């Protein structure tokens, strides 16, 4: 078989949990890419300026980062984790249902912030749950998990497009064209309508013919089965508080995780709070007394792994956000509608890459895939920089860039967790750093393009990619240091155990001799 029978057996034993987490990430992908195309209509709805409405989206991204940071708080029991997922998924549906009723930009910002917080909690918990369940076999299932993000992000513009207004709210001026084209196409992933926005301090009148509220309500309905599925999983696991019996620990409930842990540590090992407590939030990890006395390599693996994702996810956010701005500007100067397809191609490549990475992650170690993907991303951006006047290679390079960047996050997650033997705070740190990188790099690259010109877009890309590769080389060095530390600790433990074993054997022989003599 193409897939090992053991992997199939693992999936069958945890199919209900796995499918539920995958559906959560499909919903997550819908939410991530759904808001961008509606920016004009929301601007009309709230009678706000463009600068005001962009702060609404910043609030959503910022709270998503906060949610990712605190999501590990709910990992202690299976019930608390699933309950947090259920409430978060339900909150997303509620928020999207009431967004059409938000006629004030401040109220809309609060609604977006709450939805971002819920998505951040989903992001962290779903990753932690899969890593906890499958442990050393989690790479395949993490690839599939993140495939559903790309799939949802690819589908969401198709839902929004029929309901979007193409007339805008203001008059036609040239000053707002470039900014509006950027924000309209940053997340829309579809061809842009050729129109300009008048940026004045006067309030905009809402477009009477707008039907965007139907798009938000459809989104709420599509997302509604997700919390229902999580609630059904809670019921199936008999975790409802009114049911008899206490709430089990996460690993106690999952037999597979217990078996994997026993195989890794030996039959006589005991699972302590340190083994499972590491997958908490960043703040609790920093206060964990069990981490005192650990080597520098343990902490550097967390830091360097997070910084690599800070760079690579930053490239994903910046490329998806500004490739249209780069394409329509000289020297490329592509037509608006042609350039509008670049973001769709990028997300489609990410989706295809994550699907392709599922069998690859089974055949190859995550470290090799990371090296290949990082090197491929650098070469692709470098070729884009060399052939900066070729529109054909821009489309080819966009596709290749999406393919190489698609699986870096799940590979890094599986790689660092395997190094640390599923202890520490790798999942929470990586998720937080990835979200922070996507938010920071979009602001940084956008400001550089605004001041230095569109050509600096690719220069920023090659610099960020090279820095990420250098950080990964440092991660490899500290990985070797940590392996040596673990090997040395194991040898010392074995040397201590040998005299004890010999003494016990000697005592047993003496007792046996005395019993024979007395008989």
Is residue 192 within 8 A of residue 185, CB to CB? The reply is yes
Averaged pLDDT of the chain: 75
Q: Say yes or no to pLDDT of 54 above 80.
A: no
Whose tokens are 């600790």? That residue is 489
pLDDT of residue 383: 94
Quick one: average pLDDT of 416-438? 75
pLDDT of residue 434: 85
Q: Say yes or no to pLDDT of 257 above 80.
A: no
What three-state secondary structure class fits 249? strand
Cβ neighbour number for residue 21 with a 10 Å cutoff: 25
- pLDDT tens digits, 200-233: 343 444 445 567 788 888 888 988 999 999 999 8
pLDDT of residue 403: 93
Length of the chain: 519
- pLDDT tens digits, 136-146: 777 778 777 77
Structure tokens at 228: 């229902």
Is residue 181 within 8 A of residue 148, CB to CB? The reply is no
Q: Say yes or no to pLDDT of 75 above 60.
A: yes
pLDDT grade for 248, boundaries at 50, 70 and 90: very low
Percent of the chain with pLDDT over 90: 15
CA torsion through residues 347, 450, 52, 190, sign: negative
DSSP H helices, 47-137, are 50-70, 78-98, 105-134
CA torsion through residues 357, 467, 303, 430, sign: negative
Is residue 83 within 8 A of residue 234, CB to CB? The reply is yes
pLDDT of residue 308: 94
pLDDT of residue 178: 43
pLDDT grade for 315, boundaries at 50, 70 and 90: very high
Quick one: average pLDDT of 470-498? 77
Beta-ladder partners of 249: 77
- pLDDT tens digits, 87-135: 999 998 899 899 888 888 899 889 989 988 998 898 888 888 887 888 7
Among 311-320, 385-394, 448-457, the minimum mean pLDDT is found in 448-457
Is residue 318 within 8 A of residue 468, CB to CB? The reply is no
pLDDT of residue 29: 80
pLDDT of residue 323: 82
Question: 500-506 — which CB contacts under 8 Å span 24+ positions?
Answer: none
pLDDT of residue 187: 41
Beta-ladder partners of 77: 249
- 94 or 1, which is more confident? 94
The b/e string for 211-236 (b: 16+ C-beta within 10 A; e otherwise) is ebbebbbbbbebbbebbebbbebbee
pLDDT of residue 516: 62
pLDDT of residue 499: 58
Q: What does the alpha-carbon distance between residue 305 and residue 310 come to, in Å, rounded to a whole number? A: 9
Quick one: average pLDDT of 381-409? 91
- 188 or 44, which is more confident? 44
Among 154-168, 268-282, 333-347, 415-429, the minimum mean pLDDT is found in 268-282
Quick one: average pLDDT of 322-348? 78
């Amino acid at each position: 078989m193409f897939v090992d029978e053991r992997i199939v057996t693992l999936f069958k034993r945890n199919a209900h949990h796995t499918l539920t987490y995958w559906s959560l990430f499909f919903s997550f992908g819908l939410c991530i890419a759904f808001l961008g195309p509606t920016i004009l209509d929301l601007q009309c709805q709230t009678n706000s300026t463009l600068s005001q409405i962009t702060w609404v989206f910043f609030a959503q991204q910022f709270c998503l980062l906060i949610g990712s940071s605190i999501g590990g708080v709910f990992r202690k029991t299976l019930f608390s984790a699933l309950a947090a997922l259920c409430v978060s998924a339900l909150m997303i549906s509620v928020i999207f249902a009431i967004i059409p009723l938000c006629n004030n930009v401040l109220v809309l910002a609060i609604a977006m912030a709450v939805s971002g917080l819920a998505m951040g909690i989903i992001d962290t918990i779903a990753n932690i749950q899969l890593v906890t369940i499958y442990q050393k076999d989690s790479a395949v299932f993490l690839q599939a998990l993140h495939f559903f993000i790309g799939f949802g992000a690819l589908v969401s513009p198709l839902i929004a497009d029929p309901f979007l207004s193409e007339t805008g709210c203001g008059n036609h001026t040239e000053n707002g064209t470039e900014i509006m084209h950027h924000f309209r196409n940053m997340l829309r992933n579809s061809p842009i309508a050729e129109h300009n926005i008048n940026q004045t301090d006067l309030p905009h009148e809402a477009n009477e013919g707008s039907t965007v509220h139907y798009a938000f309500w459809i989104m709420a309905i599509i997302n509604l089965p997700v919390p229902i599925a999580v609630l059904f999983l809670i019921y199936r696991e008999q975790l409802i508080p009114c049911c008899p019996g206490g709430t089990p620990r996460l690993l106690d409930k999952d037999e597979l995780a217990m078996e994997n842990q026993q195989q890794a540590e030996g039959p006589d090992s005991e699972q302590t709070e340190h083994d499972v407590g590491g997958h908490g939030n960043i703040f609790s990890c920093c206060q964990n007394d069990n981490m005192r006395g650990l080597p520098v390599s343990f902490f550097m693996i967390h830091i360097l792994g997070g910084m690599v994702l800070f760079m690579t996810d930053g490239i994903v956010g910046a490329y998806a956000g500004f490739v249209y701005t780069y394409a329509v500007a000289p020297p490329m100067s592509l037509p608006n509608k042609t350039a509008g397809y670049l973001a769709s191609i990028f997300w489609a490549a990410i989706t295809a890459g994550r699907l392709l990475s599922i069998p690859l992650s089974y055949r190859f170690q995550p470290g090799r895939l990371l090296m290949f993907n990082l090197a491929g991303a650098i070469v692709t951006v470098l070729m884009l920089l060399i052939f900066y006047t070729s529109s054909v290679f821009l489309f080819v390079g966009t596709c290749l860039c999406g393919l190489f960047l698609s699986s870096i996050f799940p590979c890094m997650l599986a790689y660092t967790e395997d190094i640390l033997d599923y202890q520490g705070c790798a999942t929470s740190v990586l998720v937080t750093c990835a979200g922070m990188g996507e938010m920071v790099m979009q602001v940084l690259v956008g400001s550089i393009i605004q001041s230095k010109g569109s050509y600096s877009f690719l220069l920023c890309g090659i610099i960020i990619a090279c820095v990420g590769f250098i950080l990964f080389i440092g991660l490899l060095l500290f990985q070797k240091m940590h392996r040596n530390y673990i090997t040395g600790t194991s040898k010392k433990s074995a040397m201590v155990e040998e005299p004890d074993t010999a003494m016990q054997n000697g005592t047993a022989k003496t007792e046996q001799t005395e019993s024979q003599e007395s008989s």
